[in-house]
Structure formats: C-alpha cells, structure tokens
Amino acid sequence: MKKPDNTSKQTYARNKKAFFDYEIGKKYTAGILLKGYEVKSIRQGSANLKDSFIRIKNFEAWLINMYIPLYGHAFVKEYNPRRERKLLMNKKELKELLIAQDAKNMSIIPLEIYPAGKMIKVRIGTGKGRRKIDKRSKLKEKDLKRQLETELSGRVSF
C-alpha cells in the first residue's frame, strides 16, 4: 500500500517579506547543497530566509545570508549558520538569472524552502523592488478587501 503524499503543501520556511517588498516576476526551483545536520535543522522548521538573496558568481548560483541554526545533536566545532550555499540549477535558468541580476533594479530573492521527496528545494523569484508608495497602496487595498469580506459575512445569515 502506497503512503499518501502529504509533503506537497508543506513548507519549511517562507520569505513573507519578499512578496511585500518586491514585485515578483518569474519563479524558479533549485536544489540546495547542504550538510546532513543542516538538513535535519531545516526539517525541524528552524531555517530563516529573512534578508537572504541570491548572487550569480562564476556561472553558479549562491544563496547568501540564509540562517540555518546548528542542529542540536550535531558535533561540529566551527559552524557558520549564514554561510553561502550553492544552488543547483540548469544552464538555461542560470542564464536567465544572470540577465535578471544585471538588469537595473532587479533582484533574485528566495521565496520558500520546501520538501521534494527526500530532497529539499528552494523556490526563487526575480523581482523589482517596490517603492514606499506602492507598499502603502497594497496595504490599503488589502485592508479594504478585509473590511468588505467582514461586512458581507455579517449580512449573510442562514
């Protein structure tokens, strides 16, 4: 009997601020080169994508400033929780990301870390930074939508 796949909707870490600070365009999926104890720490849900970003160096993608705390049962003398981690992507995607990195006002941001079978993947997106005015208008829009939903749910009664 096959085990049900309940990992499809699970995420280990999500960068909520990225959707607020950036206008996300195209999204990509990449594998991450991790140590064994880092994988265990991520599976405990203790990874953090805040303030992390992606750079293309020597035609390789690197995830910079992602925080993965040391796994509690690991015996490691020197550990840097914010070390650079290599992303595994194909050449076509790397070319597109290199073009996006060189474009004006474009950034490459990690959006979420999620399981893919036994592996851990990261979803990344290219985005243009939002101005303060745009952020305010988005908050106002969200607030109006919330108010409208509460008014509609209050009026409809069975």
In a domain, 68, yes or no: yes
CA distances 77 to 10, 73, 74, 99, 146, Å, are 32, 12, 9, 39, 50
**146 inside domain:** no
CA distance 158 to 153: 11
What is the rounded CA–CA span in Å between residue 22 and residue 26?
12
- The answer as to whether 52 is a domain residue is yes
Q: E strands within 17-146?
A: 22-32, 53-57, 60-64, 85-88, 106-116, 119-129
Judge whether 103 lies within some domain. Answer: yes
Residue written as token pair 């064994």? 36
Does the reported pTM lie above 0.85?
A: no
| Domains: count for the chain | 1
CATH code of the domain covering residue 30: 2.40.280.10
Confidence of residue 3 (pLDDT cuts 50, 70, 90): very low
Domain that residue 74 falls in: 13-130
137 lies in a domain?
Answer: no
The pLDDT tens digits of the residues spanning 59-99 come to: 999 999 999 988 888 888 888 889 999 999 999 999 988 88
Residue 22 carries which side chain, given as an amino acid letter? Y
* Secondary structure (3-state) at 141: helix
Mean pLDDT score across all residues of the chain? 85
Q: What is the pLDDT of residue 27?
A: 92
Is the model's pLDDT at 31 over the cut of 90? yes
150, part of any domain: no
Question: What pLDDT is recorded for position 156?
Answer: 55
Residue 55 lies in a domain: yes
The answer to whether residue 113 sits within a structural domain is yes
pLDDT digits over 88-130, tens only? Answer: 999 999 998 888 888 877 889 999 999 998 899 999 999 887 7
For residue 151, the SS3 value is helix
